[in-house]
Amino acid sequence: MSGPDLGKIVLTVGDWSPDGWIEHLRAHVGPDDLIFSDGKQAPPPDICDQVRYAIAWKTPDGFFGNFPNLKAVLSTGAGVDHLATRGDIPQGASIIRVIDPDLTGRVTAWTVMNVIAHHRQALGYLAAQKEAKWRPLPQSSAPDVRVGLMGYGELGQSAGAVLALLGYDCAGWARSPKPDAPINVFAGQAELEPFLRRTDILVCLLPLTEDTRGILNRDTFSKLAQDGITGGPFVINGGRGGHQVEADLLDALTDGTLLGASIDVFDEEPLPSDNPLWGAPNILITPHTAGMSAPEALVAGMVRNLIAFAEGRPVDALVDRSAGY
């Protein structure tokens, strides 16, 4: 690789296949400098000493403690909850996440698919089709549907832009105010309730942090709009399983507090086959595939970030470790 000396890079991708990552990293990193580990067994100590960077997804606790000279860990995904709170990444080391148009586009497509699915009652038509019934359902216009983007960062903004193009009445919710945003963005805990009260379809694209864990709970569901054109609220979670209180979600779908949900992420993944959410009313479940990290799309950008970081240039995907995202 031309540019700065990056030392050795350890790659470990949990239960994902490493093949595509190795293939695409090899185009940038010399064969002796890319070390693959299954995350269970560390490379020999003399190699570990030379590792300065890790490219990682869901690595067993303690793994990073094997690398005393680690300068940064690059997440292969946008979410860094698998890295942010662990104690084995040295305090002085940085965490870099993925910001990439391919991943953003995938999550945007998933989000838009699910907003439309609930607004246009795809599950109702699927049920009618199973009974071979020609059953037109009531239809409303997109501008009459209020979508609330909980998390208005890279993914929330992209999904919001496409949904707004389709005519949906979008608002966002973030930690910090965004006076220049093209839609109204509510900010902070103080503005959570007014944001929920104006929302018919709630989309969660938050990072999982101490502040956001469990945010999709009974209290949140009960504050969503009851007076909307959709006849009741819907929840779409593409963030992390830790955002939803599963028992509250199940109750809310069962008692009609929520008219439907789309859930991509769960506390326990794969979702066990006996989890009652599989059979909850009007739920669309996807197996953490809202946005798959495709090495052929992501590796070049990750390497660019790595080089910028090593050269001391700004990296926009740098994680604020104190904020947890």
The item of ligand NDP, ligand OXD, none sharing an interface with residue 156, based on CB under 5 to 8 Å by kind, is ligand NDP
Number of H helices, E strands in the chain: 10, 12
Give the separation between CA 98 and CA 209, rounded to whole angstroms. Answer: 17
If binding is defined by CB under 6 A, does position 79 make contact with ligand OXD?
A: yes
Single out the residue of 186, 197, 204, 196 nearest to residue 261, CA to CA.
204
Q: Report which residue type is found at 247.
A: A
Residue placing its CB nearer to ligand OXD in the complex, 75 or 230 = 75
**97 among known catalytic residues:** no
If binding is defined by CB under 6 A, does position 324 make contact with ligand OXD?
A: no
Choices 14-22, 75-83, 219-227, 244-252; region in contact with ligand OXD by CB under 6 A = 75-83
| Residue 181 C-beta: closest distance to ligand NDP, Å | 10
The string of DSSP letters for 100-164 reads -HHHHHHHHHHHHHHHHHHHTTHHHHHHHHHTT---------GGGSEEEEE--SHHHHHHHHHHH
Calculate the alpha carbon distances from 303 to 119, 141, 230 in Å: 40, 44, 45
**240 among known catalytic residues:** yes
If binding is defined by CB under 6 A, does position 120 make contact with ligand NDP?
A: no
Q: What torsion do the CA atoms of 41, 45, 47, 50 make, to the nearest 10 degrees?
A: 120
Q: At what angle do helices 154-165 and 101-119 cross, to 10 degrees?
A: 50
Range 57-116, binding ligand NDP (CB under 6 A): 77-79, 103, 107
Q: Report which residue type is found at 127.
A: A
Choices 16-24, 63-71, 209-217, 223-231; region in contact with ligand NDP by CB under 6 A = 209-217
DSSP element (H, E) containing 48 = helix 45-50
Beta sheet of 34-36, edge-to-edge order: 34-36, 8-12, 51-56, 72-75, 94-96
The item of ligand NDP, ligand OXD, none sharing an interface with residue 325, based on CB under 5 to 8 Å by kind, is ligand NDP
Of these residues, 120, 288, 304, 321, which one is catalytic?
288
Choices 13-21, 271-279, 284-292, 307-315; region in contact with ligand NDP by CB under 6 A = 284-292
If binding is defined by CB under 6 A, does position 293 make contact with ligand OXD?
A: yes
If binding is defined by CB under 6 A, does position 77 make contact with ligand OXD?
A: yes
The residue length of the chain stands at 325
If binding is defined by CB under 6 A, does position 199 make contact with ligand OXD?
A: no
Residue placing its CB nearer to ligand NDP in the complex, 7 or 153 = 153
Question: So which residues are the catalytic ones?
Answer: 240, 288
- The residue ranges that bind ligand NDP (CB under 6 A) are 77-79, 103, 107, 151-156, 173-176, 205-209, 211-212, 238-240, 264-265, 288, 290-291, 325
